[in-house]
Structure formats: C-alpha cells, structure tokens
Structure 1
C-alpha cells in the first residue's frame, strides 16, 4: 500500500515536470517567434528608408533656372521706333550700309560707328595729348598719299596710327585758348610720340600758336567733313593680275575694310602699314572692289583696271556723319 502511494506521488511529480517543461517550451517558443518577427521587420524598414533618402535627395536638388523666353530677347534686339540706325554692336549693319553712286548731299547722319569696324579713333570721343610740329615738306608720308596741295596735315602717333587705320582721317584739333584747326592724317609719328599726340605740319601748327612754341597741350576729335570730293582707287606700282596692292584715296570717313570680288564672293584684303591692301596671289586684281567705312557703309566699285600708280576716280563717296 505504501509503495502504491509512493508510485502515485512519483507519477504526479513527473506530470508536473512535464507540464512545467511544456509550458517553458511554449513560452520559449513564443519569445523566439517574437524575436524572429521583430528582426525581419527591422531589416525590411532599413531598405526602403535608405532608398527613399536617395530618391528624395535627387528630387530636392534646386532646379535649373528657366531660360528667359524669346519675347524679351527679341524685344531688346529690335531697334526702337525712333532709332535711325542699327546698334553699335551689330556686325553686319544693313541700315547704314547703303551704297551710293554719287557724292552724298544728304544732311549729316547720326549713325554710330560699328564696334566691329572702328579702331582706336572713335567718333564722338575727345582725345587729349600734345601737339608738336614738323617740317612736312611736300606733304607725303607713311600713308603713301603722295604730295599734297593742302598742307593742313598731321602725323598720328604710332599707337593711334594702328597699322595705317588712321590714314585719311580728318580730326579737329583744339587748344585751351580756343584756337582750332582741322587736319588730315597723312603720316605716322614714331616713338617717343605718345598716345594722343599729333605732330602737325608747320602750316597747321601756326594756326594754333607760333611755331616757336614747339609743343602745346591739345584735345582732338574725329570729323566727317562736308566738301571732300569723291573717292579714287590707285594700284601700287608693280601691281599685275598676279599680285597687286590697292589703295583708296579721298574717303570722307576712316576706312575699315577693302574687299575684292573673288569667285562668287568677297575676299577681305590685309592692310599694310603703308596704307595699301594687298592681294598677294592676285585674287581679285582688276575686278570689282568693295570698301567699308567705320560706320558700316559699303560702296561697291565696278571693275577697276590694274593700272599701277594711276589715280582712278570712282565717282562715289561715303555719307557724312
């Protein structure tokens, strides 16, 4: 009997142990499931978050400012109703490029010189420097114009001479006491002549002060004179159909370009320091010539025969400004 009760107690102890163990396993299983459930969630959240951050960083880059619409640009490029000529920045002005077969009798224009054609000497600008004096003799000089009947001439300092770009320009020279004289640039004054300096012929200098003064401060500005006749063309001595140098004489305004017809187009010739435009391979020699002043006006001259060192009149002239 006692053994039976002891065996019963052992069986109850085993059942409690099994129940406790089973309960422990259940709790352990629940905890494991909970841990496993939380771990995948954390991993899955990290991926989308990183991807979202990359996408958002791209989307939040400041956008490129929009290109201005064509309308304002077109409006700013269009001359106002009161504008008589193109802006100074136009490279191929059309309104000012009006060929003329005869000397112009129109009233002075107010068209600005084009920035692509003008050199150091600009219209509507005043330059300061000194005037000195030299014996011009017959009036010939670096511009290769030859002897001059009008001795109201001057030599331009080498800087403003600018590879003969100043040749033929008319400038009004003034002194502080109010005296003035208009001279034509026919020569160059080498260093030490400074920028702004003019070396006047004795005849021109005497219009301002006595020649004995020697040197005086001056101001000067570009002119577009009235009575200057018409333009002539001269081929350099030695010119032929295989090589030629071409010079324009008597132009009212400074000359910016000289071109010759070559094939179906125009070829611009290089300018020399002695004021001839050279066609070293003969292209265009004896053909049509086109000249352009600093205001952009173009004059086309029919074929001019190659006659070396002969002045040939064209009957045309640039407009007055």
Structure 2
C-alpha cells in the first residue's frame, strides 16, 4: 500500500510532466505563428498584381506602332528625318535634346500601323535646305560625267562627289541661292571631284553669273532639290555596244531624280544596277529591248514599251513624272 510520502511524490511528478507539456505546446504555437507571418509577408499583394497579364505558352506579344512617329524618329525606309538645320558641310545638324522613343509592347491584338513610305531618295532629300559653297567652271557644251550629251541650256552644275552619290544626283534640278538674294535653277549634269566638299556645287559660268560676278570665283550658298515645271517628256537611250546579250540603259529629261530602272524579263521585273556614269546595266542581256519601268525618288512608276534596241539613239517617250 502506497504511503502518504509516495503519493505526494507521484503528484509532484505528474505536475512537472503537465508543465513540460504546456511549455512545449506554447513553443509549437509560437513557431506556427512565425511561419504564418512569413508566408503572409511573401505572398503578392493582390491589388498591385491585379493588372498583370498572363501570356499562354507559345504566344507572342504584338508591338503596335504609333500612328505618328515620335519626334526625331527616322522613317522606316532609313532616310533620316531632319531635326535641325544643315551645318557648313551641307549635312544635317541634329537638334540638341532630340531623342527617339520606342513603342512599348502591348498584349492587345491591335493591327500594326504602317507609316506612309518615305521618298526613295539618297543623300539629297526633298524639302531640305543645304549649305555649301558655289564655285565656277568652264562647262563647254554642257556634257559631263552623267553622259547626257551636249546641253540645250547652260544652266547646269557639277555636284560634289559625296552628294553625287555614284550618279544618283544626275538629272536633278537644284535651286541655288546666294547671300545677296539672287537665285538660279540648275540641272546636275556633271561630278565635281575632290577636293570639292559635301554641299559644294561647281556652276557653269553662265549659271554663276546669275548669282554674282564670275570673277569672285567662290561664294557661300544654300541649295535645295526642285521639281520644276517642264513640258518635256522622258527619253530613253541604249549605250553604245548594247545588244540582246548585254546592254546599258539611260533615262534623260526626267523631272525628278531617278531611284530605280527595271526591265521586264521571263521572271517579271528586274532592277538593274546603276553605274557611276549614269547607265543601268544588264550584264546578261536580260530585258534588253523589252519593256522598261522607271521609278522616281517619290515612288512614282512609269512603264515604257516599244523602245527599240538602237545603241546611242535618243528615243522620246510620251511620259513624265508628276511635279512635287
């Protein structure tokens, strides 16, 4: 039989066990509370995350282009949009602080907006005024690197090599202005080699005299591309030596500078490479003697048919580019 002392010891042991169990439960509850707090803290805020968009696997976001290009953004075609005035070399000086803003991706399926095509011009851009100098040369009969032949009008000029751009300037009409207010319109028929600088025009004596006394020899000018009034139509000439197996083709009398000349072959229209002496060459004879399509820097296309393969003969057409 358990004595009173033994019963007292048993009660004290049970009391200590209950205390240990209570302390362990308290620790467990505290740990659970800490874990719960950590989980809640790491969970995303449902209000700030409500605007996110889920993209299905394999789907792509589409960029919607702005309806108008941002200030200072170049056109798609690569030709720079002027953001400032030209500098002394005839190149465009950008406006300080101009920047390009990229379109932000959008999850919507709005169709892409395509801006209107920019002119297919080279260095000499329509609507741009360039600065440079005018010099004077003896033009003779008006023939030059463009190989147009003798000129009916001596209001002609040679373009510096940089802006001549491997004959791309041939046939362009340019309005030239002097500081005294005088101006003259000239046609580019020749190239002014180095040391002629970008922006420089070498004018015939007759054209230079419309601005100042030719004895001055060199004056500062501004100039810009012109699309003049004219009653003339375009002519086509095949180069000397042209045949069904090789030919060179030249357009003469075009109101606006040419951007492309194509011939029609068995596989459709084919663009011909342009030489620095202003002929478009078909090295294998493809399209020689067939239909010809010419395109100006504004994108207008004219198709000419019925031009015989007659070397070194100027053959008139009945077409001309529109005025701009």
Match of 1:226 in 2: 229
Match of 1:34 in 2: 22
Match of 1:158 in 2: 161
Superposed displacement of residue 58, structure 1:
9.5
Superposed displacement of residue 127, structure 1:
2.2
From the superposition, tell whether residues 36 and 178 of structure 1 become closer, same or farther in structure 2 (CA, over 3 Å).
Answer: closer
Match of 1:23 in 2: 11
Query: Aligned pair count?
Result: 275
Report the structure, 1 or 2, having the larger helix content: 1
From the superposition, tell whether residues 152 and 54 of structure 1 become closer, same or farther in structure 2 (CA, over 3 Å).
Answer: same
From the superposition, tell whether residues 62 and 214 of structure 1 become closer, same or farther in structure 2 (CA, over 3 Å).
Answer: farther
Superposed displacement of residue 297, structure 1:
1.3
Match of 1:106 in 2: none
Match of 1:136 in 2: 139
From the superposition, tell whether residues 50 and 268 of structure 1 become closer, same or farther in structure 2 (CA, over 3 Å).
Answer: farther
Tell me the SS of whatever aligns to 1:271. Answer: coil
Please state if 1:255 is matched with 2:258.
yes
Please state if 1:212 is matched with 2:200.
no
Superposed displacement of residue 242, structure 1:
3.2
CA contact (8 A) 1:289 1:303 kept: no
Query: Which residues of structure 2 form unaligned runs of 5+?
Result: 55-60, 69-73, 78-115
- How far apart in 2 are the matches of 1:177 and 1:318? 33
What whole-Å deviation, never above 9, does each CA across 1:243-299 have from its counterpart, x for those lacking one?
332211100011112222344543222222111222333333333222111222111
CA contact (8 A) 2:119 2:299 kept: no
CA contact (8 A) 2:272 2:281 kept: yes
Higher relative contact order at CA 8 Å, sep ≥6: structure 1 or structure 2? 1
Match of 1:108 in 2: none
What is the RMSD computed on CA atoms of the aligned residues?
Answer: 3.2
Normalised TM-score (structure 1):
0.74
From the superposition, tell whether residues 139 and 19 of structure 1 become closer, same or farther in structure 2 (CA, over 3 Å).
Answer: same
Please state if 1:196 is matched with 2:199.
yes
Superposed displacement of residue 153, structure 1:
0.9
* Aligned residue runs from structure 1 range 88-107, under 5 A: 89=75
Superposed displacement of residue 46, structure 1:
4.9
Query: Which residues of structure 1 form unaligned runs of 5+?
Result: 1-10, 78-87, 92-112
Match of 2:249 in 1: 246
- How far apart in 2 are the matches of 1:170 and 1:300? 22
- How far apart in 2 are the matches of 1:27 and 1:234? 120
Tell me the SS of whatever aligns to 2:185. Answer: strand
Superposed displacement of residue 195, structure 1:
1.7
Superposed displacement of residue 149, structure 1:
2.5
From the superposition, tell whether residues 207 and 224 of structure 1 become closer, same or farther in structure 2 (CA, over 3 Å).
Answer: same
Normalised TM-score (structure 2):
0.73
Tell me the SS of whatever aligns to 1:316. Answer: coil
Match of 1:314 in 2: 317
Match of 1:121 in 2: 124
Larger radius of gyration: 1
What whole-Å deviation, never above 9, does each CA across 1:47-67 have from its counterpart, x for those lacking one?
554444444279856956999
